[in-house]
Amino acid sequence: MRRLKALEPAEAPAKSREQLEEIIARHGSAGEMIRTMAHSPALLQGYLSLSRAVKRIKLPRALSEKISLAVQEWLGCETCLNAHREAAKEAGLTDSDIALARQATSTDPREAELIAFALKVLVEPAAITDEEISALTGNGWSDHAIADVVGLVVLNQLTGTFNLVAGT
């Protein structure tokens, strides 16, 4: 059930209106989540900035979609799960890969380790140990990749949580 109304640019606060008009000019439309976030110019700006930044992460797209699927499964956002399921297929993942990712694992043990870490970043970041980080780096994951995972998890938490609260 929709809880927050998606805004048209004319209804949005001035700062959000500018952002919505720019998005519409570039893409032809603005999605429902973005139009709903427009109630808060600060949130909309933060989301757009983080989203643009996370698009530049160095993780392979298929792996980032697996992480997104694991996070959204845990959060329970069907809207996000559907979007990431489609993106995962576009990235070449099979139905089996998608099902495993939703269970926070992979047939590749190295990927499974990183996906499990991503879920721990979401659920209990204070419990992450030095040994877990050492295990990741020992298995070839760079500090850069580990930092990228945190950014990807935070973006997914933001979108999933917002969609659940807004009722999109």
Taking the complete model, does pTM exceed 0.75, yes or no? yes
Question: Residue 129 phi/psi, 5° resolution?
Answer: -105, 165
Domains within the chain, CATH numbers bracketed: 9-54 (no CATH), 61-166 (1.20.1290.10)
* pLDDT score of 1 more than 90: no
What single-letter amino acid sits at 40? S
Taking only the tens place, the pLDDT of each residue in 82-139 is 999 999 999 999 999 999 999 999 999 999 999 999 999 999 999 999 999 999 999 9
Taking residues 33-52, report their average pLDDT.
Answer: 98
Q: Which residues of 38-53 are buried (b: 16+ CB within 10 A; e: fewer)?
A: bbebeebeebeeeeee
For the stretch 62-95, pLDDT in tens is: 999 999 999 999 999 999 999 999 999 999 999 9
User: pLDDT band for position 24 (50/70/90)?
Assistant: very high
pLDDT at res. 42: 98
Q: What is the pLDDT of residue 64?
A: 98
Helix 143-166 and helix 109-123, axial crossing angle in degrees, nearest 10: 50
Q: Model confidence over 139-166: pLDDT tens digits?
A: 999 999 999 999 999 999 999 999 999 9
Site of tokens 């959060």: 75
Q: What is the 3-state secondary structure (H, E, C) of the chain?
A: CCCCCCCCHHHCCHHHHHHHHHHHHHHCCCCHHHHHHCCCHHHHHHHHHHHHHHCCCCCCHHHHHHHHHHHHHHHCCHHHHHHHHHHHHHCCCCHHHHHHHHCCCCCCHHHHHHHHHHHHHHHCHHHCCHHHHHHHHHCCCCHHHHHHHHHHHHHHHHHHHHHHHHCC
> Residue 13: its pLDDT value, please?
98
* Mean local confidence (pLDDT), 27-55: 97
